[in-house]
């Protein structure tokens, strides 16, 4: 509280507290943020990477996938001697898919002296962390969150390693057209990530000559009964339904659509690509469901060895965004190596200069908006209860 800017005249007491707190920061964080500018590449201090990810709340299933993916990259790089002789260190904070929790987490990372942020899953929770990291001069390499809103502000320090909502929407519409869909219903869950994709898809459908937009419906996440929404969708008589939210509700909506007698095509966005989607929907209802997705370990040729080492280390299978988090750490390390320091401007320049660095999603070069030059979205479909590559859209 005492450190937050306030327009009200402060009482003597709070000034006192403020001064005390500020001096504590100044003296206590020698290796932290304020000391960073003096640190060159020649120090032995570890390079601290901060990972904000949902470890609690509705998306808490994703957190461990991202944390493990990032940890794997950190361990591999450290085993190879680190970056310029400096070890990497990963600090993880919980975002709970909640903007307030995420803000607190970001502030915590800043005070812990993080050099680069490699986290961000829920777009709605990642958005408020942007100005915090920007002010602190911490470059962000966001592995999963991909709402276009994240880059709309044009912040210098923000880089997305996942394809954006726009790119996902383009792939979705391309595939709908390929499937000869005529009337498309969009369903989102009212979060930044989900409405972003739905809105961009709606725009493309309205502009394009392909399928037309039948209806655009929003639901509230966290409920069990979506019969009212399903009913509204069916009223519009679509032959293609695209769900852009997360898998927990996605499974229920697919199931309830089928139960209500819908027989047309179904597609989900990348937040819904999880084995649980099929389990919640029921095997029969899940079969044949399409998905727009970035590359996952399963769909990447030659990732078997990587999956094996992940399994050895953590005793479980990698999941969504394990690879992107792994890549985010590698990109961070590459940028520091190129820059020769962890100074903000050098790192940002190095990130902008990356040309063809090999990621799971293909060679990486950032666009001017700091997004991937190619979204790398594929179409998956559920075959025998598992997501399989259906169309690589090439």
Closer to other proteins by CB, 98 or 298: give it.
Answer: 98
3-state DSSP call for residue 329? Answer: helix
Question: Is position 86 an interface residue for other proteins (rule: CB under 8 A)?
Answer: no
- State which of residues 252, 291, 347, 379 lies at the interface with other proteins (CB under 8 A): 252
Side-chain half-sphere CA neighbours of 94 within 13 A = 9
H or E element in which residue 373 lies: none
Q: CA-to-CA distance for 94 and 97, rounded, in angstroms?
A: 8
Q: Contact at 8 Å (CB) between 156 and 344?
A: no
User: From the list 248, 325, 342, 344, which residue makes contact with other proteins (rule: CB under 8 A)?
Assistant: 248
Q: Is residue 95 close enough to count as binding other proteins by CB under 8 A?
A: no
User: What's the CA gap between 184 and 233, in Å, rounded?
Assistant: 10
Query: Is residue 213 involved in binding other proteins (CB under 8 A)?
Result: no
Binding mask 120-159 for other proteins (x = CB under 8 A): ----------------------------------------
314 binds other proteins (CB under 8 A): no
Q: Which of 43, 60, 338, 365 binds other proteins (CB under 8 A)?
A: 60
Instruction: Decide if residue 190 touches other proteins (CB under 8 A).
Output: yes
**Site for other proteins contains 57 (CB under 8 A):** yes
Binding mask 16-55 for other proteins (x = CB under 8 A): ---------------------------------------x
CB of 24 to other proteins, least distance (A): 31
Among positions 23, 180, 220, 367, the unique one binding other proteins when judged by CB under 8 A: 220
Residue from 23, 56, 367, 383 in contact with other proteins (CB under 8 A): 56
384: left (phi over 0), alpha (psi -120 to 50) or beta: left
Is 261 a binder of other proteins (CB under 8 A)? yes
Minimum distance of other proteins from residue 59's CB (angstroms): 8
Of 159 and 262, CB closest to other proteins: 262
Collect all residues with Cβ–Cβ distance below 8 Å to 150 and sequence separation of at least 6: 120, 123, 126, 127, 130, 142, 158, 160, 164
Rounded least distance, CB 225 to other proteins, Å: 5
DSSP annotation string for 241-287: EEE-S-HHHHHHHHHHHHHTT--SEEEE-GGG-SHHHHHHH-HHHHT
User: At closest approach, how far in Å is the CB of 193 from other proteins?
Assistant: 16
Task: Tell me how far apart the alpha carbons of residues 334 and 153 are, in angstroms, rounded to a whole number.
Answer: 25
Which of 23, 153, 227, 388 touches other proteins (CB under 8 A)?
227
Applying CB under 8 A, does 315 fall inside the site for other proteins?
no
Residue that is written with structure tokens 């997305």 in the block = 160
> Of 55 and 160, which CB lies nearer to other proteins in the complex structure?
55
Query: In this chain, which stretch among 101-109, 112-120, 253-261, 324-332 interacts with other proteins, using CB under 8 A?
Result: 253-261
Euclidean distance between CA atoms 388 and 296, whole angstroms:
10
270 vs 364: CA distance, rounded Å: 20
Give DSSP secondary structure letters for 91-148. Answer: EEEE-TT-HHHHHHHHHHHHHTT-SEE----SHHHHTTHHHHHHHTT--EEESS---T
What's the half-sphere exposure (Cβ side, CA atoms, 13 Å) at 39? Answer: 21
Helix or strand (DSSP H, E) at 11:
none
The contact set with other proteins (CB under 8 A) reads 55-58, 60-61, 63, 187, 190, 217-220, 222-225, 227-229, 231-232, 235, 248, 251-252, 255, 259-261, 276, 279-280, 282
């Amino acid at each position: 509280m005492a450190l937050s800017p306030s327009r009200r005249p402060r009482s003597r007491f709070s000034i006192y507290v403020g001064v005390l707190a500020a001096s504590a920061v100044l003296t206590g964080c020698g290796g932290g943020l304020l000391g960073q500018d003096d640190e060159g590449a020649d120090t032995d201090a570890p390079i601290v990477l901060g990972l904000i990810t949902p470890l609690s709340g509705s998306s808490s299933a994703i957190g461990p996938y991202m944390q493990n993916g990032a940890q794997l990259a950190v361990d591999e790089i450290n085993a190879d001697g680190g970056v310029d002789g400096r070890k990497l260190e990963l600090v993880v904070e919980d975002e709970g898919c909640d903007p307030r929790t995420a803000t607190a987490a970001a502030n915590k990372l800043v005070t812990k002296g993080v050099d680069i942020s490699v986290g961000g899953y829920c777009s709605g929770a990642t958005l408020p962390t942007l100005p915090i990291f920007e002010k602190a001069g911490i470059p962000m390499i966001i592995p999963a969150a991909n709402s276009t809103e994240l880059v709309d502000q044009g912040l210098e320090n923000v880089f997305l390693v996942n394809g954006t909502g726009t790119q996902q929407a383009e792939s979705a519409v391309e595939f709908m057209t390929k499937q000869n869909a005529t009337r498309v219903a969009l369903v989102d869950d009212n979060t930044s990530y989900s409405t972003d994709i739905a809105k961009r898809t709606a725009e493309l459908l309205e502009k394009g000559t392909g399928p037309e937009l039948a209806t655009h419906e929003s639901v509230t996440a966290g409920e069990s009964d979506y019969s009212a929404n399903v009913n509204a969708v069916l009223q519009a008589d679509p032959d293609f339904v695209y769900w852009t939210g997360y898998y927990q509700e996605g499974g229920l909506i697919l199931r309830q659509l089928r139960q209500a007698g819908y027989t047309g095509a179904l597609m989900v966005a990348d937040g819904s690509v999880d084995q649980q989607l099929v389990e919640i929907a029921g095997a029969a209802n899940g079969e044949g469901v399409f998905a727009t997705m970035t590359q996952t370990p399963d769909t990447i040729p030659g990732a078997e060895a990587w999956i094996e080492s992940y399994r050895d280390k953590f005793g479980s299978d990698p999941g969504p965004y394990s690879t992107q988090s792994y890549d985010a750490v590698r990109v961070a390390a590459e940028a520091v190596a190129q820059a020769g320091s962890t100074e903000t401007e050098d790192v940002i320049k190095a990130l902008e200069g990356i040309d063809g660095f090999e990621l799971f999603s293909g060679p990486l070069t950032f666009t001017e908006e700091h997004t991937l030059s190619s979204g790398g979205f594929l179409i998956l479909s559920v075959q025998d209860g598992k997501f399989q590559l259906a169309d690589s859209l090439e």
